[in-house]
A and B are shown apart, each in its own frame.
Chain A
Amino acid sequence: MTSSSATALDFEAHYRSLGARKRLVTIAYGTLFLIAFGLSAWVGEFDPLKLLRSLPRVHEYAVKTLPTLSLATLWHDLNEWFYAPGKWLSLLWETILIAYTATLLGTLGALALCFHASQNLRRGSVSYWLVRRIFEVARTIPDLVYALIFVFAFGIGPLAGILAIAVHSMGGSGKLFAETVENIDMKPVEGLRATGANWLQIVRFAVLPQVLPNFATFTLWRFEINVRTASVIGFVGAGGIGQELYIAIARLYYEDISALLLLLVITVMLIDFGCEKLRHAMIGKEHH
């Protein structure tokens, strides 16, 4: 037996043992996944048979929401379908403004706090810990829950919704902002510190120029999300088109549902498209 074939045999054995180990790991994780899936199906009362039985009902529901449109009387039918365009469009406009105001307030809050929550610029362990927890609570409690509480405190109307979305946005954006700040190039910070600049000056002249493009991208992204959220806060009485939608769905005004959802989807698509254009206009020069 030559040494080279011995090496080859060694190699074969090693390869096989590695393969066997990989298979074992895959089986172990697969089993774990299946157990998790089975447990979830049990706890979540997920019954495939019930699902199959309910599919025809979903279909029936979807068909009912479709309006009767015929080519001969198309204009009349469309008018019938969108019977309150003025009211709906003004509610949509209100929804967008709610999202805008909330994004603005939330972003300002995140901007004010995020530097305290980043490892490299923190001003002390107490404020660091505190701001991190504030961000966590703000983004983990869902916006609809804030909306419920704020409706109680500020009364029914858009103000409660704006504040709810703003608090939630502050938490979400704040975390992303802080992570961005943690990834900056520290040389300008050291340079400014060497000149005797104070903390605010460092943030303004060494950090902000580096992170502003990213912050702008996140904020536009956040606005897109907030438009979607603003469309549902009306479910709990916090303004926007949600209330109208809730009534339509709850009282089974089928054709209203499809009309409102269509308007909503078109609005969301236009806003996503506009934000995309804006994003490219702002950062396109650097990234393309």
Chain B
Amino acid sequence: MRENIANFDAASIAAIRARHPLAFQAPLSVRLRNQAAWFAFFVLTAYCFWTFDLSPARLWAGSGTLLDVASRMFPPTVGDAFNDYLWALFQTIAMAFLGTVIAAVLAVPLGLLCARNVLPVRIAQFFFRRTSDTLRGIDQVIWALIFVRAVGLGPLAGILAIIISDTGTLAKLYSEAIENAEKKQVDGIRGCGGNPLQTIRFGIIPQVLPVMLSNVLYIFESNTRSATILGIVGAGGIGFYLADRIRTMLWEEASFIMIMILIAVYVIDWISKLIRRRLIGGAAETSGGLH
């Protein structure tokens, strides 16, 4: 007969508790560690709030101005530069597209060299991984500012910034996909006497291509968002106008540009979703879209 839980009295529960203490409570060491973690979390958070002066009074004072700004943003007006805005918006999308395509190609060799199962040389792998980490670790806007200084103002600097930082990102994503590839096909090609290049071409690439394409599409979506700010540092695109309108406090025009960006990003996401479904058949619908 199964005992009914309602039949337990306090004494028998106490007896069970004494027999199986760990079923009721984590061991002391775990409890202490958790409490220490919570304590550290609260201390750090309190320190941050104190050092950054995140006080209600300051937030209140700022939100007054913010509300004022928000009210000045309506109604969004275009001013007399609609054609310039539209051209700059297309330029932003073009920069994102070119940068993504070129980075997608450049990242293939780097991604292969970063993968453990393609290049089993520890030192070389360390070198290539740190290279891609460096490209990726520096924000796109920093690259853009550097390229503006090196090659001059304009979209070329933005495209180069996108290429550089996304080659790093895509190389990492590619190498992860390659490392997760099934080993059997690789062994098969090798067993037939295939050379290393043929092994990559016929053993690995067919497996990882859908994942790679899905990653590229995701990066393209993310780039259409991030490319809108490259103009702030003079690297081409709509960001220049947006930053300028905000700095000169032309809020109605700033909000108009923001709405244009929203629509453009919405359309790009929609197209990208269509392509993804078409190319990959929904199979490799990897989660992404942190931006």
Contact = CB atoms under 8 A, between A and B. Distances in A.
Nearest to B90: A43
A36 B156 CA distance: 17
Interface in A85-142: 97-98, 100-101, 104, 136-137, 139-142
B141 A232 contact: yes
B91 A153 contact: no
B235 to A, nearest CB: 11
A249 B265 CA distance: 30
Interface in B116-156: 130, 133-134, 137-139, 141-142, 145-147, 149-152, 154-156
B145 to A, nearest CB: 5
The residue among A50, A141, A145 with the most chain B CB atoms within 10 A of its own CB is A145
A66 interface: no
Contacts of B287: 176, 179
Q: Looking at chain A, what size class is its interface with the partner chain? A: 35 or more
A51 B134 CA distance: 22
Interface stretch (A8-16, A186-194, A197-205, A260-268): A260-268
A75 interface: no
A250 interface: yes
Contact of A44 (B53, B138, B155): B155
A43 B94 contact: yes
Interface residues of B, number: 68
Given A44-B91, A45-B155, A231 B142 contact: yes
Contacts of A257: 146
Contact of B146 (A61, A98, A162, A221): A61
A250 B141 CA distance: 13
B225 interface: yes
Nearest to B232: A144
B48 A140 contact: no
B178 to A, nearest CB: 19
Nearest to B262: A140
B26 interface: no
B139 A231 contact: yes
Which secondary structure dominates chain B's binding surface? helix
A51 B99 CA distance: 13
B258 interface: yes
Interface of B: 44-45, 47-49, 51-54, 58-59, 61-63, 65-66, 69, 87, 90-91, 93-95, 97-98, 101, 130, 133-134, 137-139, 141-142, 145-147, 149-152, 154-156, 159-160, 225-226, 228-229, 232-233, 236, 239, 242-243, 246-247, 249, 258, 261-262, 265-266, 287, 289-291
Interface of A: 36-37, 39-47, 50-51, 54, 57-58, 61, 97-98, 100-101, 104, 136-137, 139-145, 148-150, 152-155, 158-159, 162, 172, 175-176, 179, 218, 221-222, 225, 228-229, 231-232, 235-236, 245-246, 249-250, 252, 257, 261, 264-265, 268-269, 272
Sorted nearest first, the 4 A-B pairs with minimum C-beta distance are: A44-B94, A40-B94, A154-B62, A268-B137
Given A142-B228, A145-B228, A246-B145, 4 more contacts: A97-B48, A136-B266, A144-B232, A269-B137
